[in-house]
């Protein structure tokens, strides 16, 4: 299983358009990009690949990376930076199965699958939306996938476990979430070869959030920034909780101080990992 990080940034990416903060300036000088979140997973054994989330930066990501167009797609939630790239299916694909959770969200009165069908009704002859129950494995591209509920209020949001049933290789994605991931989801995500964990900012920036930080560790350091995303420290703690062989931090904001923004284990676009 080859994993390519097409997009490792948050809603605005790094460098952010029109921003001249030290981190965005440093990213431009280094030639480093963190575009909006998306992950390409290639099952080389089966000769097929899938795309986790459809970034608005879809076109640039596939032009910049030597990866095949996906044979299937997966959508974890309906925020624009994870979904709006789906429009690129038009005139690029003859047909694409898209897998999404089937659980109704009280905030929208729709499941993720239903929102995709409604919002992209003009693609009904190009995509087939497959509604999947959370915590129930399904097959795509010769891999076993499981949507896992996480904590990203007010929307329902999901992480994802991806496992190769023949080799046992496992990739886990936290999805957009606070540190408060339910126990059943932690069990499904546990023991990955690679964890991609939402780490929007370092915990030191919680003082600047109107709601501060939450889910403090034994050292008093917040593991959640506000209510929706993990801090760097929270993401690393989740990696330890899940017994991950390796944890890479993604969904990163340009608010990281420049002297911390490119340090390990913060990911950048274009990374590849062979599991």
Alpha-helical runs (H) found in the chain: 22-30, 58-64, 80-83, 112-119, 183-189, 232-241
How high is the pLDDT of residue 251? 98
Place of tokens 């930076």: 81
pLDDT digits (tens, 9 = 90+) for 167-210: 999 999 999 999 999 999 999 999 999 999 999 999 999 999 99
The boundaries of the domain holding residue 204 are 2-274
pLDDT category at 91 given cuts 50, 70, 90 is confident
The 3-state DSSP class for residue 251 equals coil
As a whole number, the mean pLDDT across the chain is 97
Specify the pLDDT at position 201. Answer: 98
How many distinct structural domains can be found in the chain? 1
Q: What is the largest CA-CA distance in the chain?
A: 54
The least confident of 72-81, 86-95, 166-175, 253-262 is 86-95
> For residue 149, what pLDDT is reported?
98
| Domain at 207, CATH number | 3.60.15.10
Cβ neighbourhood burial of 209 (10 Å; 0-12, 13-18, 19+): middle
Residue 204 — φ and ψ, nearest 5°? -60, -20
List, for residues 104-118, the tens digit of each pLDDT value.
999 999 999 999 999
Taking the C-alpha atoms of residue 44 and residue 185, their distance in angstroms, rounded to an integer, is 27
User: Among 141, 146, 191, 197, which Cα is nearest to 173's?
Assistant: 197
**Is the full-model pTM beyond 0.85?**
yes
Per-residue pLDDT, averaged over 261-269, amounts to 97
| Structure confidence by residue, pLDDT tens digits, 58-82 | 999 999 999 999 999 999 999 999 9
The whole-angstrom separation of Cα 26 and Cα 249 is 19
Tokens of 152: 């990203």
Each residue's pLDDT tens digit, 120-158 = 999 988 999 999 999 999 999 999 999 999 999 999 999
| Alpha-carbon distance values, 88 to 70, 136, 155 (Å) | 12, 29, 24
**DSSP codes, 124-183:** TTTEEEEEE-TT--EEETTEEEEEEE--BTTB--EEEEEE-TTT--EEEE--S--S---H
* SS3 state at 53: coil
Two structure tokens written together for 67: 């990866």
Position 254 confidence tier, pLDDT thresholds 50, 70, 90: very high
* Distance in angstroms (rounded) separating the CA atoms of residues 207 and 93: 46
* pLDDT value of position 168: 97
What's the pLDDT tens digit per position in 196-251? 999 999 999 999 999 999 999 999 999 999 999 999 999 999 999 999 999 999 99
H helices, E strands: number in the chain: 6, 16
């Amino acid at each position: 299983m080859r994993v390519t990080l097409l997009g490792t940034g948050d809603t605005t990416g790094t460098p952010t358009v029109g921003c001249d903060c030290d981190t965005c300036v440093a990213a431009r000088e280094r030639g480093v990009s963190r575009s909006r979140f998306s992950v390409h997973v290639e099952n080389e054994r089966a000769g097929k690949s899938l795309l986790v989330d459809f970034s608005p930066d879809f076109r640039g990501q596939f032009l910049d990376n030597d990866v095949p167009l996906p044979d299937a797609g997966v959508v974890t939630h309906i925020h624009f930076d994870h979904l709006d790239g789906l429009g690129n299916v038009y005139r690029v694909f003859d047909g694409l199965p898209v897998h999404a959770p089937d659980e109704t969200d009280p905030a929208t009165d729709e499941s993720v699958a239903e929102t995709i069908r409604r919002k992209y009704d003009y693609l009904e002859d190009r995509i087939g939306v497959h509604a999947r129950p959370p915590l129930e494995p399904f097959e795509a591209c010769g891999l076993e996938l499981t949507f896992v509920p996480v904590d990203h209020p007010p929307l329902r949001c999901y992480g994802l476990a991806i496992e190769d049933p023949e080799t046992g290789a496992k990739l886990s994605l936290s999805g957009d979430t606070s540190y408060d991931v339910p126990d059943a989801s932690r069990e499904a995500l546990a023991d990955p070869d690679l964890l991609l964990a939402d780490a929007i900012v370092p915990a030191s920036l919680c003082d600047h959030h109107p709601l501060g930080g939450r889910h403090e560790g034994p050292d008093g350091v917040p593991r959640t920034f506000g209510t929706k995303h993990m801090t760097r420290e929270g993401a690393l703690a989740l990696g330890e909780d899940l017994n991950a062989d390796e944890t890479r931090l993604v969904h990163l904001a340009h608010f990281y101080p420049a002297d911390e923004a490119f340090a390990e284990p913060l990911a950048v676009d274009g990374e590849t990992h062979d599991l």
